[in-house]
Every structure is written in C-alpha cells, then in structure tokens.
Structure 1
C-alpha cells in the first residue's frame, strides 16, 4: 500500500483591515451583495465578489427556490456571470462571505463542493490560479492562493 499525504496552505487574516486594500474592497463588495441574497428557506445569506484581470468586479448572491435544489450559490452566480459577460477575462480573486439570519457566523465559510468544482473549471480553463478569500459574517478571513488547496483532487475534462 502506498500512502498519499495532502497538505494545504491557508493564510489567516484576523480582520478585514489586515487584508491588502484591493482584497479589503473586494470583501466589502461581497458583504454588500450578501444583503441581496434571496434565502427565505435556509436563512443563510452568501455574497461573492470576483476581480477580473480587466479591472471589473462581478458580484453574486445566493438565490434559493422552493424547489430547493434549483437555487444557486453566490459563487456560481458570480462566476457564471463573469464567464457570460467577460468570457476572455481571467479571474484573479474571489471574496466570499456568509451570514445566517439565525445566529452569528464567525467561522470562515469556504465554497461548497459544487462551487469548488465550478471554480475549478475556470481555474483549469484559464491555466492560472484563482485566489480565494472567505469569511463568515464576522471574524477572521481565510485566503487560499489557489482552488487546489481546497480541492486537491480536481475532476477535470482530461479525465473524461
């Protein structure tokens, strides 16, 4: 038997103010768009802001549906919008924030599995890493230099 050991490097910023200015502004945009989430069922609001290499910032918030799996996470709303409107642009960074209407969310909330797979598609397609910053409603911010830290065994088209 052979054993594979996987390690991930995640940087931790204790406050938004510790982030570099570009990342602070990106996270503040994610916090602002989180307020637009349509989350009447889960009461869990998520906002995402994406910085593109052309300087544009694209945002998204989660949008739920009574047919529960038909909704869409904030990260996928933003990344699909970026792909549709700016198909030639490279995604540089994504800031994600989550808050619950039921309790204070102080733990950093990373992208779900479906969102990780969607981000992976773009990271692989553009052949450059996408920096990911994520936080709860309050508290520390986690930063990953690439999706590969969050999804080390990516499923991609070369496996098909």
Structure 2
C-alpha cells in the first residue's frame, strides 16, 4: 500500500511480513504475531485500515500457506480489523482464485510482470515429429492461469426424465 492509498489523517497501516515457507504449524505462530501487533492499536475496522500482509516471500504457496492466510484473516476480524495481501505473486493469486477466496483475502496491488516464463514442473518436452504436430495446440509458455469452476456435485439434476413401463412389468 503506497502512502497515496492512505487517507489523510488516518493511522499508518500495520504491516505483517509473512515468511516462506509456511507450514501447518506456522499458522498459529503467525496468528500470535498478528494478535501482538493488534493489541497496541485502537479496535474497530472502521477506524483503522486493514493490516497489510506482505506475502512476496510466498513464491511456491500450497494449502498450508492458504490456510495460514485465511486464519490470519479470522484473527484480524476477531479484533475488529481485516487483512489485505500485498506483493502476492502469480502462483499465490492463482491459488486464491482456485480456492474461491478472492473476497476473503483481498489483494492490494497488481501482480508484478514476470521477466521470464515460470518453469513448469514435469518432464522436458520431446523433440521430433510428435512434438511438431502438437505445437499448434499448445498455449504459449508463461504462468499457469487457473479459473475456478463449479464441481460436478453442484450440477442441477435433469428435469422431465421419466421411466418407461413395459406391458409385462408388475405394478407398484
């Protein structure tokens, strides 16, 4: 958050730097650090800007990191505040979108442009005719773009389906 984003006369934002890597046990430690930061400030979300969590160190986020960030948001809300993420990389942004937590974990700034495409995990592509045939169907290299979608369990059941009855079937 730049100084221009802070309204005049409002207190300076509280900043919590989230280190990497974040494991399952680190969520409790981060929440304790956040509680300690919030004890000294005035209560009430209306009077104070959100706590800024600098997450630039989370270059390879996983479910444990996402869980820790969600728990930080819960801790802040219990103290009448909220958190907002600053300097989130493309991988963390994609994971937040995939989990559907974009409204729960707001981002303060736009992603920084990548100088080089992110390497994808997996085997190296093969050279040869098979590779050339599939080249037209591949997307250009770069960060993985993930869009959240509905799961199969959430589909609506088809309407108007009726079972046919044979003449030799016994009645109900």
Higher relative contact order (CA 8 A, sep 6+): 1
TM-score per shorter chain, which class?
0.3 to 0.5
Q: Report which of the two has the higher share of strand.
A: 1
Q: TM-score, normalised by structure 1?
A: 0.33
